[in-house]
Amino acid sequence: MSQRRRTAVLISGRGSNMAALLAAAADPAYPAEIALVLSNRADAAGLDHARVRGVPIAVVESRRFGRDRVAFEAAMEAEFAVHGIELIALAGFMRVLTEGFVSRWSGRMVNIHPSLLPAFPGLDTHARALAAGVRLHGCTVHLVSPGVDEGPILAQAAVPVLPEDTEASLAARVLAEEHRIYPAALAWLAAGRVTLEGGIARVMAAPAAGALCNPLPVPGPLPTSNGKS
């Protein structure tokens, strides 16, 4: 197969999405090679997972740079240069990037976000989804534009919000979908299957057919107030 695209995964914490990308990239046929895991925190749990798997890691501590985001990003880009990085996958990387950095990596940097964007950008997405009473929630993989959690959408997965959900149960349901769509979306980008048309991403992949619906509008006995039908 053609050359695999050398990809840096950027993390700040747990690194479960990073682990999903590493697992996918363990297949030599996967079009991206994870050539670097970079964290802005030395205590990010995900670093150990990458280290054990023999993936090169780097720590560029954002707090060392204070408010100087340009210097922080220059230090990260020095690491990218050392490792010949072509693509960036943000995986729970909790720093806002400058417009300059984002434009240098335009079309070559993806992010995963735990909501159906453009709903609920930013933090606390699951609590906000519960508070808003939405019936479907989910996750989005998108190319990164300068705004926070903005950019052309590559893939989304929706999950139902169930009456008994807590923030934790909803987060877990969404996270399982994150681990499914992120490896797929990075593969599409790495394989050159993504094109941009007027700010919209077109992906050469099989579209999912059918509708997602929750609750299901099927005829049937209605539950009574004590939960029995």
Report the catalytic residues: 113
Closest-CB residue for ligand GAR? 92
Provide, rounded to whole angstroms, the least separation between the CB of residue 20 and ligand GAR: 8
Q: Scanning residues 145 to 184, which ones bind ligand GAR (CB under 6 A)?
A: 149, 175, 178
Q: Tell me the closest approach of the beta carbon of residue 228 to ligand GAR, in angstroms.
A: 37
**Closest to 155 (Cα-Cα) out of 177, 175, 185:** 185
- Alpha carbon 118 to its chain centroid, in Å, reads 14
- Contact between 15 and ligand GAR by CB under 6 A: the answer reads yes
Nearest distance from C-beta of residue 112 to ligand GAR, angstroms: 4
Shortest Å distance, C-beta 214 to ligand GAR: 21
Nearest Cα to Cα of residue 115 among 98, 106, 107, 127: 127
Min separation Cβ 90 and ligand GAR, Å: 7
The backbone region for 185, taken as left when phi is positive above 0, alpha when psi lies in -120 to 50, beta otherwise, is alpha
- From residue 123, give the alpha-carbon distance in Å to each of 35, 61, 109, 116, 226: 28, 21, 20, 13, 36
- Helices 167-190 & 125-132, crossing angle to 10 degrees? 120
Please, which of residues 52-111 interact with ligand GAR by CB under 6 A?
Answer: 91-92
CA distances from 184 to 50, 54, 116 (A): 20, 23, 17
Q: Residues 158-188, buried b or exposed e (16+ Cβ, 10 A)?
A: bbbbeeebeeeebbebbbebbbebbbebbbb
| Contact call for residue 113 and ligand GAR (CB under 6 A) | yes
Cβ-in-10-Å burial (0-12, 13-18, 19+) of 189 comes to buried
Q: Which stretch binds ligand GAR (CB under 6 A): 7-15, 27-35, 67-75, 215-223?
A: 7-15
Nearer to ligand GAR, 165 or 178 (CB): 178
For ligand GAR, the binding residues in 31-50 under the rule CB under 6 A are 46
Q: Which residue, 117 or 190, has its beta carbon nearer to ligand GAR?
A: 117
Q: Which is nearer to ligand GAR, 86 or 149 (CB)?
A: 149
Does 22 participate in binding ligand GAR (rule CB under 6 A)? no
Contact residues: ligand GAR, CB under 6 A: 11, 13-17, 46, 91-92, 112-114, 149, 175, 178
